[in-house]
Amino acid sequence: MKKTLLLAGVACLFSFGANAEEIKPYVGLDYVYSHANVKKDYDFKKNYNSGAINAGMKVGDYMGLEAFFQQSMEEKKDISATQNTKSKFHAYGIDLYGYMPVPECNEKFDLLGSIGIANYNMETKFNGVERGKIDKDRMGYRVGLGAQYNFDEHWGARIMGRYTYLGAKALKDLKEVTAGIRYTF
């Protein structure tokens, strides 16, 4: 079901601007720092470093649609001398972007806003005392604000702050900061 949702979103990505006057497809690569709002009863890492790849299209000057995949590094937290946890996550989804060009900057600088939906898969392994493994999928709703500087018609750099609500039993939400580059075709 969730993969079907992603594929439908990607199909919309390409059909969305079929009648638009100016469509600019792009690809990007981001570094993502995530802070997880973890309930006190759960012993796993709260901060994650991730990489993300994305593909999207800007339609006209003010709107865009982007699909992404994000993979965190495995983070370890020592609970005691004999216990530790290892946790990681990956996510994929789609975001709708609004662009606000800043005319004083010769059309090189855009303010950004985004809203989207994503599937997060969180995996935690417990060592020491045998408590097993947790592997959960959870849909999340995302909003973000940021800015993009366009070096020329092809290359740009973007920074975003994003809030994701997951509402899971152990993990309520994520606060993320992303920084990356974009290549527009």
Q: What are phi and psi of 76, to 5 degrees?
A: -115, 140
Convert the pLDDT of each residue in 109-130 to its tens digit.
999 999 999 999 988 777 744 4
Beta carbons within 10 angstroms of residue 59's beta carbon: 19
Helix (H, G, I), strand (E, B) or coil at 127: coil
Q: What confidence category does residue 78 fall into, taking pLDDT thresholds of 50, 70 and 90?
A: low
Q: Is 130 left (phi over 0), alpha (psi -120 to 50) or beta?
A: beta
Q: What confidence category does residue 103 fall into, taking pLDDT thresholds of 50, 70 and 90?
A: confident
Do 58 and 23 touch, CB atoms closer than 8 A?
A: yes
pLDDT in the model for residue 138 = 87
pLDDT in the model for residue 111 = 96
If you average pLDDT over residues 35-45, what whole number do you get? 69
Is the pLDDT higher at 82 or at 28? 28
Q: Which residues contact 144 (CB under 8 A, 6 or more apart)?
A: 95, 112, 113, 114, 115, 160, 161, 162, 163
Inform me whether the pLDDT recorded for 42 exceeds 70.
Answer: no
Q: All domains of the chain, ordered by start, with CATH?
A: 2-184 (2.40.160.20)
Convert the pLDDT of each residue in 144-167 to its tens digit.
999 999 999 999 999 999 999 988
DSSP structure string for 23-48: EEEEEEEEEEEEEEEE-TT--S--EE
pLDDT in the model for residue 17 = 46
| Residue 178 buriedness (CB in 10 A; 0-12 / 13-18 / 19+) | buried
Q: Find how far residue 183's CA is from the centre of its chain.
A: 18
Q: Which residues contact 5 (CB under 8 A, 6 or more apart)?
A: 117, 119
Q: Find where tokens 């662009």 sit.
A: 99
Q: What confidence category does residue 59 fall into, taking pLDDT thresholds of 50, 70 and 90?
A: very high
Q: Which two tokens stand for residue 15?
A: 């059909």
pLDDT in the model for residue 125 = 77
Q: Find where tokens 């993969």 sit.
A: 3
- What does the alpha-carbon distance between residue 40 and residue 131 come to, in Å, rounded to a whole number? 17
Beta carbons within 10 angstroms of residue 49's beta carbon: 11
